[in-house]
Amino acid sequence: MRAVLVGVLLSLLSCPAHTCPKECSCDSNAKVVDCRGQGLYDIPKRLHADTQELYLQGNRIRGLGSSAFRETPLVRILDLSNNSITSVSPSALLGLRTLHRLSLANNGLRELDKRMLGPIRSLSHLDLSHNSLWSLPGAMGDSLRNLSHLGLAHNRLTRLDRSLLEALGGLDSLTLRGNPWRCDCQLIGLKLWLETYLFKGGVLDEVLCSQPEEMRNRDLQRVPYQLFHACMTTSYNYLFANIHHLESERMLRGHAHGNHAHHDSHAHNVLVGDGEGFGGTGVGGVGGGGGGGSLPECEPKQRPRPVNLRHAIATVIITGVVCGIVCLMMLAAAVYGCAYAAIMAKYQRELKENEELAAAQGADHATADDKEPLENAIA
């Protein structure tokens, strides 16, 4: 009896800590776990720690909790399509540092947290098509710099942040069809980016406008820029935003190169001047602290504001001066043209009168010459 108990204990101890779940099929050699179409409501437990491909599509999973894949940190391909996922924890994919392909297509996602893909830098394929996404966080692009395919088809996107797309330097293919795009002034940035993207050889399906009504079912790529003439204010705002961005970068580079004393003094003056507008906590506290630890973090946000305002005013003034000069030149050209036309008309009129006068005098001389022979003959 004692020998039997010892054998049982040894057999239990010899069993691996992770086995293949009964709902799934596992290939230990290929490191693949296939749990497709099994009616699962949650991620299976006791998965092999060395799993590299995990297929969970066609189940009934409704959400992904924190560290949902902590048992499989080496997963490279994760397919969660065709489930009922409506919520994803910001830390659901925590630990999946080697993830290359992720599919969340055909679910019920309405939004994504910008932190969800933060730890993942190796992702090359992301499919978010056939969901209910209204927007994507612009900061999410920082985690997708190695992305080569992005699927956003058939969501509820009306616009897309250009800064997110510009961060995707390695993007080769993009799907955007089936979204209710609103082709107004705020979509000019997307149109400009798409032209550059296609010029570089990128692959795109289509961007059909849904609003406004006069642009319905028109492809944004083929909408002429003349239809965006009413967007002048938006263009100026975009210009000023770029000026603010460039000025911030310039100030940050200057601060990094050792001009600490000058910039700290400048930041202190700005913070003290703006202290009441932001309240006693945060910015006001930093200004009164005199070189506290949070000063460098607040400096880039506050310092460029007066500089940006001056640049904006200067840009408007310069634009006005240039437009005034152009108008004066056009007016001078018009006056010159009218004067030239009047002089030419007067010259032609005088020339015609001289020709008529010369013709009349020639006729009189001819008559006199004809009369002289006749008079001689009579005599």
For the chain of 379 residues, list the mean pLDDT of each consecutive stretch of 10: 44 52 90 95 90 96 92 95 95 91 96 86 94 89 89 95 88 95 87 91 93 89 73 53 56 54 42 37 37 39 50 82 89 86 83 81 62 50
Same domain, 32 and 102: yes
The CA distance from 214 to 160, in Å, is 21
Return the closest-CA partner of residue 234 out of 195, 184, 191, 193.
184
The CA distance from 139 to 237, in Å, is 21
Number of helices (H), then strands (E), in the chain: 8, 13
Same domain, 100 and 247: no
Residue 329 included in any domain: no
The DSSP letter of residue 173 is E
pTM beyond 0.75, yes or no: no
Residues 6+ apart with CB under 8 A from 192: 162
Same domain, 247 and 170: no
Q: Which helix (H) or strand (E) holds 349?
A: helix 304-378
Locate 275 and state its tokens. 């202290």
The CA distance from 95 to 304, in Å, is 38
The domain in which residue 268 lies consists of 235-315
Domain count, the chain: 2
The CA distance from 85 to 58, in Å, is 11
Same domain, 150 and 240: no
Task: Quote the pLDDT of residue 11.
Answer: 42
Same domain, 44 and 171: yes
Q: Specify the 3-state DSSP secondary structure of 149.
A: strand
Domain termination site, one of 151, 179, 207: 179
Same domain, 256 and 159: no
Task: Quote the pLDDT of residue 197.
Answer: 92
AA identity, residue 33: V
Return the closest-CA partner of residue 47 out of 64, 65, 68.
68
Domain termination site, one of 267, 300, 315: 315
Exposed / middle / buried, residue 51 (Cβ in 10 Å: 0-12, 13-18, 19+): buried
Residue 59 included in any domain: yes
Domain termination site, one of 137, 155, 179: 179
